[in-house]
A and B are shown apart, each in its own frame.
Chain A
Amino acid sequence: MQAKLAADAIPISKKRKTWIRTIQKHKVMYALLLPALIYFAVFKYIPMAGIMIAFKNYNLALGLWDSPWVGFKNFTDFMNGVYFWDIMKNTIIISLYKLLFGFSAPIVLALLLNEVYSQWFKKIVQTITYLPHFLSWVIVYGIMVALLAPGDGLFNMILKDFGVEPISFLTEPAWGRMLIILSEVWKDIGWGAILYLAALAGIDPSLYEAARMDGASKWRQLWHITLPGIRGVIILMLILKLSHILDAGFDQIFMFANTFNQEKIDIIDTWVYREGLERLKIGLATAVGLFKAVIGFALVLAANKLAKKFDGQIW
């Protein structure tokens, strides 16, 4: 009380005083929070400030401050480049295919598992289908080599037995996207199903009993009870996925891409890596990274706004 009166007496420093007192009161809490704030400031916000490289003709020798400003030249160079449409097209096509198959496959798996009465069977199938999720993309690529390599790969040995010319699946541009989509579905089908299974478990079983009494077929039950029961989760997941439409899966594609199939599977992120860090076109690559980040940010905001309309917001 005394201290408060004293603070009232000197209005100018009052705000400062209460500020200091708040910190003192919660000093342990702020101390605990401090490392995280420093971490995010250094490793996330400083690179955000580094975005100014996108507007400079960056020169390694001159450094960040002394490199000359070039305005939007890097952006216009990118948009006018011959590769622009190729990598945009690849990024969007691969994302859309992944959305189409990678998104629907787990729902189908969850619906199938939901039909199984035997608990142990359900558990075994789930345990097995989750497994690939925990393997790295390097390992998945290794498995692809085992199956698809031109000389020793399983499929090519089978083709050879039938007298068919071997196909170099891993370097053939025509197979590039297909392999990426298939491996994505393979890796994450079981994992993606978890959420839908949880939602399915929440549907009241008496609805099915009643439907059976009324003589509803399996398809009608699926259409009128099951799908409406998980609609909220489906829509939410769809919106979330849409917000990542420009993230076609860097780790995976970086592993699968080679000089032969690059034309069909090169995406924005792999392009930025090559131009920026291998060919040292730092300003240009940063501009492309920023271009992607800005669009991605807008999509996330839009997705969150949409999600709010449905089942709660994302954060």
Chain B
Amino acid sequence: MIHMTIGEKVWQTVVYVVLIILSLLCVLPFLYVVAVSVTPESEVLRRGIVIIPESFTFLAYKEVFISHGIWQAYKITLFRTIVGTALNVFFTVIAAYPLSKKYLPGRSPFLLFIVFTMMFSGGLIPTYLLIRSLGLLNSPWVLIIPNLISAFNLVIIKGFFEQLPGEIEESARVDGASELQTLWRIILPLSLPVLSTISLFYAVGHWNSYFDAIVYINDSNYMPLQVILRNILLNVATQSADSLANSGAVSTFAVQMATVVVTTVPILIVYPFLQKHFIKGVLLGSVKG
């Protein structure tokens, strides 16, 4: 279809090479982490740098899973991600629906009330003092309740509801459906793409966040996965990584890397699904909101 000149062919080759290098830069570091995690200590000592191991061992993983902390942390992270996301989506949707109705008196001030929090906040310390006085410190709910609704996601869903054709809703009302029935039977089924996008935004946020747990939780029983990984990487919990590695067959380093892999795998499993929906989400939420 397109006839290329020599200059254009050279240009094409350059573009392909640069893109291939870039892709490798994005994926190779992670593959290296995997390689380190399965390389036996003896091979590292013998060969030095191991990029592609000759032999495999899952001892580092065994060590990671023997430690009580990981299972407990997985439980907390799963709780946070599943329960948190469900509550996030529920409360965001029921708030976005009324706000999408132009006829609702008081809509604009309510919207301003919410959008203002995207621009101005009380900051870390007053928020911490509030959480403390609410008695939420050291409770797993502190990972969910203070992040119940994201104003940004709310605005995205509201925008989506607004551009649904109003006639469908009107005909449902004529047929005698109540507001709640209309929302449940008509609006939500039409909104599945944006709802899955928002769910994924929330879920990835829950899975990846670690700072709130560091600030609000001291009890090691309630530490999510990311915090455990952080402690192991920073050797804060020397006891976890080092004592694991004391058996001698695996290095602390391999245990650290195995923990990185264990923390990343769930994201990698849902990634193809994530990727498909998130692109829509970015385009939905970015410019026009």
Contacts and interface: CB of A to CB of B under 8 A. Distances in A.
Interface stretch (A7-15, A79-87, A88-96, A286-294): A286-294
Contacts of B36: 146, 152
Interface in A288-315: 289-290, 292-293, 296-297, 300-301, 311-312, 314-315
B122 A272 contact: no
Interface string B170-184: 000000001110000
B125 A146 contact: no
A157 B155 CA distance: 49
B105 interface: yes
Contact of A50 (B129, B154, B279): B129
Contacts of B267: 134-135
A296 B120 CA distance: 8
A46 B151 CA distance: 16
B248 interface: no
Contact of A198 (B204, B233, B283): B283
Interface string A155-188: 0011001000000000000000000000000100
Contacts of A78: none
A146 B253 CA distance: 8
B56 interface: no
Contacts of A293: 120-123
Which of A37, A50, A151 is packed against the most chain B CB atoms within 10 Å?
Answer: A50
Contacts of B155: 315
Contacts of A130: 275, 278
B124 A35 contact: no
- Contact-residue size bin, chain B (C-beta under 8 Å from the other chain): 35 or more
Interface in A172-211: 186, 189-191, 194-195, 198
A142 B94 contact: no
The main secondary structure of chain A at its interface with chain B is helix
B108 to A, nearest CB: 12
B233 A292 contact: no
Contact of A315 (B20, B23, B289): B289
Interface string B270-288: 0110110011001100111
A194 B12 contact: no
A35 B19 contact: no
Contacts of A116: 15-16, 19
B23 to A, nearest CB: 4
Interface stretch (B24-32, B62-70, B78-86): B24-32
A115 interface: yes
Interface string A250-278: 11001100100000000001001100110
A60 B9 CA distance: 70
Contacts of A198: 283
Interface in A215-232: 217-218
Contact of B27 (A128, A146, A217): A128
B271 A134 contact: yes
B11 interface: yes
A53 B132 CA distance: 15
B124 A233 contact: no
21 contacts: A26-B98, A28-B178, A29-B101, A32-B94, A32-B97, A37-B113, A40-B149, A47-B122, A48-B122, A117-B2, A121-B19, A132-B26, A134-B208, A141-B230, A143-B29, A146-B260, A195-B287, A218-B8, A236-B287, A273-B124, A289-B126
Given A50-B126, A154-B49, 18 more contacts: A29-B179, A32-B94, A36-B94, A36-B114, A39-B148, A39-B149, A40-B117, A46-B130, A51-B126, A112-B15, A142-B257, A158-B49, A189-B22, A251-B211, A254-B211, A269-B124, A272-B124, A293-B122
